[in-house]
Amino acid sequence: MQESTPPEKTTLKGKTALITGSTSGIGLASAHILAEQGINLVLHGLMSDEEGASLAQEFSKQYRINAIFDNANLMDSDAISHFMENAIKAMGSIDILINNAGIQHTESVDTFPESKWNAIIAINLTAAFHTIQLALGGMKQNSWGRIINIASVHGLVASKNKVAYCAAKHGIIGLTKVVALECAEHGITANAICPGWVDTPLINDQITDIAREEKRSFEQAKYQLITAKQPLPEMMAPRQIGEFILFLCSDSARSITGSSLPMDGAWTAQ
């Protein structure tokens, strides 16, 4: 029996990806992975205009792509609107949207500051609602889109002292599911990646706290932090997340939508 003809292959070269928080860690590494494929980039993060312009220039030169930069503060919904409008004007449309920017603060719920709660919910959750809303029109017009939200294992399970982070990450998984349902017939997928420990500046404060409290070296404290919950006793490299993102952008992944995908060294298998 003959196999049915597969749908036409989508080429990623020449598409545009917008990655929030791509001046550091997972976002920056993912930008390199996508640029290697000839994907144009909207880079973004908390960096001066000059530093950002020079980062975008380096990407353009190294990978021969179009790259622009914006430093919109994701706590400000007007700034997000301007950012998205400018990006769409400059690049035509956003084909791949990666909501990656995030912050962390660890403290018991009893004393967790309201200002930290508000900032974490705004940056790690509400910003993704705004960017998705503003990117969807173009994706629907093109009948193709990829929305990838960087959640966390903390979108699936909880840990003490992370009340706002867990609330935001659980929330972004709900947001992802609804977007996937509403967009399935438009050729747009929406997924959440749920990493365990990834070696980036985001977790340095947590390691430093352990080192201080337990009188251990930074490296010993890092190992203690990893193995407390994650059976695989190593941190992931940020590039690994980028490679997973690239797969989710491919045609092979077109049926993966509405999923919360752990990449967590068996953390949530327990």
Ligand X SMILES: NC(=O)c1ccc[n+]([C@@H]2O[C@H](COP(=O)([O-])OP(=O)(O)OC[C@H]3O[C@@H](n4cnc5c(N)ncnc54)[C@H](O)[C@@H]3O)[C@@H](O)[C@H]2O)c1
Give the residue numbers annotated as catalytic, written as ranges: 165
d(CA 74, CA 21): 9
Please choose, from the candidates 127, 130, 126, 170, the residue with its C-alpha nearest in 3D space to the C-alpha of residue 151: 170
> Does residue 45 interact with ligand X by CB under 6 A?
yes
Query: Shortest Cβ distance from residue 210 to ligand X (Å)?
Result: 14
Query: Shortest Cβ distance from residue 38 to ligand X (Å)?
Result: 23
Closest to ligand X by CB, 144 vs 197, is: 197
Radius of gyration of the chain (CA): 19
Binders of ligand X in range 120-179 (CB under 6 A)? 123-124, 150, 152
Strands 188-195 and 260-263: parallel
Among 12, 17, 21, 207, binds ligand X (CB under 6 A): 21
> Does residue 203 interact with ligand X by CB under 6 A?
yes
Which residues, other chains included, contact 133 with Cβ-Cβ below 8 Å and sequence gap of 6+?
A: none
Which residues, other chains included, contact 144 with Cβ-Cβ below 8 Å and sequence gap of 6+?
A: 10, 95, 187, 188
Closest to ligand X by CB, 133 vs 204, is: 204
Closest to ligand X by CB, 202 vs 256, is: 202
Place of tokens 């790259």: 67
CB-CB contact of 65 with 35 (8 Å): yes
d(CA 21, CA 146): 17
The span of 7-15, 138-146, 201-209, 249-257 binding ligand X (CB under 6 A) equals: 201-209
Please choose, from the candidates 231, 230, 247, the residue with its C-alpha nearest in 3D space to the C-alpha of residue 239: 247
Among 12, 34, 65, 101, binds ligand X (CB under 6 A): 101
> Does residue 265 interact with ligand X by CB under 6 A?
no
Query: Shortest Cβ distance from residue 128 to ligand X (Å)?
Result: 9
Closest to ligand X by CB, 164 vs 198, is: 198
d(CA 226, CA 220): 10
> Does residue 262 interact with ligand X by CB under 6 A?
no
> Does residue 245 interact with ligand X by CB under 6 A?
no
**Residue ranges that bind ligand X, judged by CB under 6 A:** 21, 23-27, 45-46, 73-75, 100-103, 123-124, 150, 152, 195, 197-198, 200-203
